[in-house]
Amino acid sequence: LKLEMPTINLDGEVTVLATVPEVVQSLKSCAVTWQKLISRVLEEQLEKVPQGNGPLAEIDLWREKNATLSALAEQIKLPEVQKVLEILQEAESEFTEDLLIVLNDLRKHHMEAQDNVKFLSTLERHLKNLSTGTGADVISNTIPSLLNALRMVWIMSRHYNKDERMVPLLERISWEISVRVRKVVDLQTLFREDIAAAKMKVTEAKATLEQWKKCYFITCIQVEESGSERYWKFDAKRLFEKTDYMASICQELHDIFQVTEELYNIFIPELTTVTENPECISELWREINIIISPMEDLSFDPFNMENARDWELVMEEFREDVTVEIVKQIFVQNLKAPPLYKNHPPVAGAISWSRSLFRRIQHTIIRFQEVEELLATERGKEVKQMYLQVAKKMKEYEDQKYRQWRERTEHMLPSLLKDTLLTVSFAVEEPVTTKKGICFALNFSPEIQEIIIETKYMEQLGLPVPEMARYVALQEDKYLRYTSKLKAMLDRYHKLMEMMNEAETKLLDDYVQELWRILKAGHKRLTWKSVGIGEFIVQCTQTIGKLELLVHYIHNISEDINSKLWSIESTNLFKFPRSINGDKLPGAKEFFDDVKCEQVKDVEHMVRKYSAIPQLLIEVEGRIAHTNSGKSPKLASYYAYWEHRIYQVLTQLIVKNLQVFNATVLANVPLLQIEAVLSVPEVTLQPNASEIEKMTVQAIQDCVEVTKSFVRWMHGTCIECPPQHVKADEVVTFSFYSDVSQSPLIIEQAVLITQNIHKLLASLNEYLNQWKRYDLVWKSDKGTVLDRFAAEKPACVIFDEHLQFYRKVAQEVTQETLIKDEQFIRLQLAPLASAVQENARSWVMSLGKLLNELAREELFRLQDEIQVG
């Protein structure tokens, strides 16, 4: 587009040229041409629309407008054009005003085009990603940044801050997104892809469509919060009706793939290798493929809202196919073990399950029949036929289940009601419930309870039930009450029998036999049709209650007796004396005498405890036999039980105390002391080893003879045996000693103690052997040695050697250890050391005396020689 320039010469001043008519007329003619050209161009540009439905077409439109208007605007700025306008204005031409209006329009539209190109260019990169992106993820990543750029355009632009500009642009963006999603979700190829990949595609497509709407409303809030005077309040239907519809189609496609995947997972190819009928699996697979085949060959675009009705029919047919197919497979798979509702019995539950499946497909088929177009199709007829086949199988299944249940109930129920209330079993080993091996158990068959529940649910299902079953069902509360009370009664009975030991069972044998006689009525005579069940339960409960009172009373007495026996068993018969002033320990005889003295005191205390036991047994006798003689035949076994128990306690008493004594012997804590003495010619213990061993044996014997104080009872009684006169001067008292003393455990402990004492004394004697190095001090005959020594007339040096030896012995002895602690004995060596030292000094004195005598003799001899000479 080029403005035609005037041919007339315009050299000269504007004011001069404006007065020349020929010049003005020529310029006016030229200006008219300009006005027409600019007006036509503006009109053409205003009429132009984007060449395409996408947002990039709008950017291209404004670029084209800007280029065209820029060309005219640049020409208007030429000096020649400006001079023409000045001359015409100076000439005050009437045409000038119209021309200026057109030029002003050109300038306004040019500025608008420039502004729009500038701001729309900021969107171009995002819009290109939108239109050329290869996947839904590219589109999803582009939408947030695109809307952020649109927000900036709305806030800063002078022209795209109005609804009439922004709404069409947003519509184009929405159109572009829908086109891109449609390309990604291509139904011609989608159903031929892997199911997981197809699901991923439609999921991403739906997310993209939803993100477009979500980001738009986020931007609305951001615009409002930015302080802009103009908010985004556009018509949401214009922007999102199409994309929302496409999102719903994507969701339905996802549902199709989900159902298809689940059906495939049920009938995966591996099943054909393990099932008994692989052809059936293959047939089911073919049916699944038939269900989804219409989706692959659609004759219309489901994303087009004009085809909404056609798509709805396709989805309806798919749902009917899938529903009937799924119900059919569930029914076939679970025929043998149908899933039951909570608390439903097996048969009625199976029928309820079958009916619930039938209602599912029935409801679906009813809706299916309401759409005549679906019934008219071949697939519609196939679905209807499949429905009829499945419904027929379900009815046959229900009839068979009901018939089998009715026949079984009519056959079994009468015999079940003839069962006795209780059953009895005899244990091979001694049971925990009764000491005589008899166990009672409730004999209410679970099948009766099952029949009651089945009957109730059968009536709820509208099925007729046998009269006897209905009668039993009406009596359910009574049966539940009876079984609950019988179970509680038996639990109470078994718990009571567990509480009694064998002796108590024998003691209460009459009461137990009476209870068993009553219980046997429930085992022999009473059935679940009997009328005396309630009275039977009351009678049993009362009898058990009486027996319980007796058992608790006997247990209280037993606890008292056991308390006394425990006190006896825990008595310490070896109470050792403490050291005197913390250092000096008692001697052996003093030690064992103290132990014996303390034992006498303890025995008196134990015998008092023991003597109180018969009176407690007489109290039991009074409660059981209603006598207080202490010799009731009914309690003979009970007396014997406690006498044996006393024997066990006394045996344990002696064994434990001997074990304590043995441990004391072995412990490294000295409790008594003995002395090492010189008994020429030997070093020995005082008291000697033999005496100490005798004391030990006597201590053991004293411990065992404690049981002589516990007098035995006469046979079949709890009365102590009186002393028996065997001979005129010999009296025998029957005690537990004769039995306890023969216990292998006691004999073993006694032998062990004596052995340990023997080893200890041997060790002490071995220790004394080191003193034998001084035996020359006391073993040599001093007179003989000195006479022989005097006869030899040794030199003084020899005398000095002997004197030094004995002085050294006396000195060494003072440095020896004078106390030796070994196990429970302290050995005092001071007496031995003193004796050795005394003997050494005696030798020194004797040798000195001999030396003196020999020296005197020699002196006298020399004196005589001197006198003779």
Lowest-pLDDT choice from 6-20, 186-200, 313-327, 382-396 = 313-327
**What pLDDT, in 10s, does the model give residues 104-145?**
999 999 999 999 999 999 999 989 988 887 777 788 889 999
* Bond from prior residue into 144 cis (ω within 30 degrees of 0): no
pTM of the prediction? 0.55
Confidence check: pLDDT of 376 > 60: no
Which residue in 178, 195, 366, 205 sits closest to 295, CA to CA?
Answer: 195
Overall average pLDDT of the 612-624 stretch: 94
Provide the pLDDT for residue 293: 66
Token pair 């009176």 is at which residue? 615
Q: Say how many Å lie between the first and final Cα of the chain, rounded.
A: 190
Provide the pLDDT for residue 288: 60
Q: How many CA within 13 A on the CB side of residue 479?
A: 23
Spatial contact of 451 and 500, defined as CB atoms under 8 Å apart: no
**What pLDDT, in 10s, does the model give residues 35-85?**
899 999 999 999 999 999 999 999 999 999 999 999 999 999 998 888 888
How many angstroms separate the Cα of 531 from the Cα of each of 329, 441, 475, 542? Answer: 51, 20, 13, 19
Contacts of residue 664, defined as CB under 8 A and 6 or more positions apart, other chains included, come to 574, 576, 671, 824
Confidence check: pLDDT of 434 > 50: no
Q: How many CA within 13 A on the CB side of residue 13?
A: 3
Which residue in 667, 685, 668 sits closest to 676, CA to CA?
Answer: 685
Lowest-pLDDT choice from 110-119, 218-227, 611-620 = 218-227
> What is the band of 263 on the pLDDT scale with cuts at 50, 70, 90?
low
Lowest-pLDDT choice from 175-179, 309-313, 642-646 = 309-313
Confidence check: pLDDT of 275 > 50: no
Spatial contact of 646 and 612, defined as CB atoms under 8 Å apart: no
Contacts of residue 68, defined as CB under 8 A and 6 or more positions apart, other chains included, come to 1, 41, 45
Token duo for residue 550: 């007796």
Spatial contact of 266 and 329, defined as CB atoms under 8 Å apart: yes
**What pLDDT, in 10s, does the model give residues 459-489?**
999 999 999 999 999 999 999 999 999 999 9
**What pLDDT, in 10s, does the model give residues 535-589?**
999 999 999 999 999 999 999 999 999 999 999 999 999 998 876 565 688 889 9
**What pLDDT, in 10s, does the model give residues 814-830?**
777 788 888 889 888 88
Count other C-beta atoms under 10 Å from residue 300's C-beta: 12
Pairwise CA distance, residues 521 & 527, whole Å: 10
Provide the pLDDT for residue 272: 46
| % residues pLDDT > 90 (the chain) | 45
> What is the band of 711 on the pLDDT scale with cuts at 50, 70, 90?
very high
Provide the pLDDT for residue 812: 78
Name the most confidently modeled range: 263-272, 283-292, 640-649, 789-798. 640-649
- By DSSP bridging, strand 672-679 and strand 825-828 are parallel
**Residue 679 bridge partners (DSSP):** 682
The helix or strand, by DSSP H or E, that contains position 438, with its residue range, turns out to be strand 438-442
Which residue in 372, 265, 374, 361 sits closest to 322, CA to CA?
Answer: 361
Token pair 């201590």 is at which residue? 699
Provide the pLDDT for residue 271: 43
Number of H helices and number of E strands within the chain? 32, 8
Q: How many residues does the chain have?
A: 869
Provide the pLDDT for residue 838: 79
Q: Over the chain, what is the mean pLDDT? A: 85
Calculate helix-pair angle for 613-624, 636-666, nearest 10 degrees: 150
Confidence check: pLDDT of 276 > 50: no
> What is the band of 380 on the pLDDT scale with cuts at 50, 70, 90?
low
Overall average pLDDT of the 616-637 stretch: 93
Token duo for residue 842: 């005696």
Overall average pLDDT of the 204-229 stretch: 88
Provide the pLDDT for residue 281: 52
Q: How many CA within 13 A on the CB side of residue 796?
A: 4
Token pair 């947003």 is at which residue? 170
Overall average pLDDT of the 341-355 stretch: 86
Lowest-pLDDT choice from 226-230, 244-248, 513-517 = 226-230
Spatial contact of 662 and 753, defined as CB atoms under 8 Å apart: yes
Confidence check: pLDDT of 432 > 50: no
Lowest-pLDDT choice from 200-214, 310-324, 371-385, 707-721 = 371-385
Lowest-pLDDT choice from 241-255, 258-272, 745-759 = 258-272
How many angstroms separate the Cα of 441 from the Cα of each of 276, 520, 787? Answer: 45, 11, 108
Provide the pLDDT for residue 285: 59
Contacts of residue 5, defined as CB under 8 A and 6 or more positions apart, other chains included, come to 30, 80, 81
